[in-house]
Structure 1
Amino acid sequence: MSDPIRVLLVDDHEMLRAGFRTILDSQPDITIVGEAATGAEAVAAASALRPDVITMDVQMPDMDGIEATRRIVADGDLQAAIAIVTTFDRDDYLFSALDAGASGFLLKNSGPEDLIAAVRVLAAGDGMLAPEVTRRVVQRYATTAPEAATASTGLELAERLTDREAEVLALVAEAMSNAEIAASLFIGEATVKTHVSRVLQKLGARDRVQAVVLAHRHGLVR
C-alpha cells in the first residue's frame, strides 16, 4: 500500500479549513499534515512539513496566496503541487496563479468530490482546473500571440520534441484527457502517458497545466 497523500491546508478562515479537513480526512489515501492561516505561514509550513499537495486561498493577511505560491514553487527543494481554492472567479487571480506556478484552480463552491479529486490528481503529477475556468484558459492563451522575446526560446523548446510529442502537447493544450488523446491519435493510453511524461520532462514543466502555459507563452501551440 502506497503512502497517503500529505496535504497542507491554507486559508485564513478556520471554519473553512475545518471543513476541508473533514472532507479530506475521510479518505484513506489522504492525510492532513498541517494548516496555515496566512501566506507567510504557508511558506514556512511547506518548508517544514514537505506536503505533497497544498490547498491555497488567495486573499489572506500578511502575504496573499499568489505570492506564497510563487515562493514555494521557486524553492527547488519543495515538490508540493499547489491548488488555488478561492471564492472569487476572477481572471486576474486565475492567470496570476498559473504564472506563479499553481497546478490547479478550484472554486470554493465546488463539491467535496471535486476537492478530493483535485488533491489526488495533483498528487499524481497532473494539473486540474475547475470546469468553469478551463475554457477561459484555453481561449486566453490560444488568442494571445507569444512575445517576440520568447521566439528563440520557443524554437529551442520545439526542437526538443518529436513530432508525436508535439502532437500530444497540442491536444493537451486543448484540455483533452489521456483517453481522448489516445482516441484522437489511435494509440493506447499508456503510450499517451509516456509521451506526456516526456513532454513535461523536456519542457521542464511540473504538470500538464504548466506545460500548456509554457507552450502558449512560447508559441509552441496555437
Structure 2
Amino acid sequence: MEKRRVAILISGRGSNMTALIEAAKAEDFPAGIVLVISNIAGAGGLTKAAESGIETATIESKPFGKDREAFERKLHETLVAHNIELVCLAGFLRLLTPWFVTRWDGRMLNIHPALLPSYRGLHTHERALADGVKIHGATVHFVVPEMDSGPIIMQGAVAVLDGDTPETLAARVLGVEHRIYPDALRLVAGGGTRIENGQCKTEASGSPDDTLISPAII
C-alpha cells in the first residue's frame, strides 16, 4: 500500500502530532508522517518527531514580521519540495492567509477543541462552561480561509460535569482529540471522504449506539 505523504505543522509540544505519529506506525495506516515543521525554534514537538525518525524543519515566522504571505511562500516551497500530499495542523499558532489555504484546499486538516460551529476561536472550554453546556468536545475539519469554518470531517464529545474547571474539561477533550485526529486522517488519506456543497461526506458509521446523553439518568 502506497501511503499518502503527510506533513504536520506545529508551534509547541505537539501532543496531537504525537498521536498522529503513533497511529501512522501501523502497517495498514494509509498515511505516513514524513515531515514536521515548526514556526518557532526549539518547539518541544521537534525533538519528539526527531526521536521517531521523522525529518524536521524550522521556518521561523517572526523574522517575516507582518508579511504573512512571505512566510507562507517559504512554508509552501518546503512542503512542495518534500512532495507533501496532506497537511495536518497540530497546535500551529498562525492564522493562515487565503493565498496559502487555497493552495492546500481539501488537503489540509485542523483540529479544534470544541464542537464546531460552536465556540470558534480561543478559550473554548471557558466559554462552554460559562454557557452551561452539557456536552463539549473536539472537531477535525478541512481548513478554509475563514477560521474554524471548514467542512467537518469528524467530531468527538465528552460529558460536561458540574465540578469541571477549564483545565479538567480540557484534559478530557484532549483525550478525544488524540482519538479522532488519527481516525480522521485515516479516513481522508484512505479516500473515505468527499466534499459536496461545502460539507464533508463519508460512508463511515457513527458510534455503536449513536447517542451521547448528558447528564445520564441511571
Q: Shorter chain as normaliser: what TM range?
A: 0.3 to 0.5
Q: Tell me the TM-score normalised to structure 1 length.
A: 0.42
Structure number with greater CO (CA < 8 Å, separation at least 6) is 2
Q: Tell me the TM-score normalised to structure 2 length.
A: 0.43
More strand by share: 2
More helix by share: 1
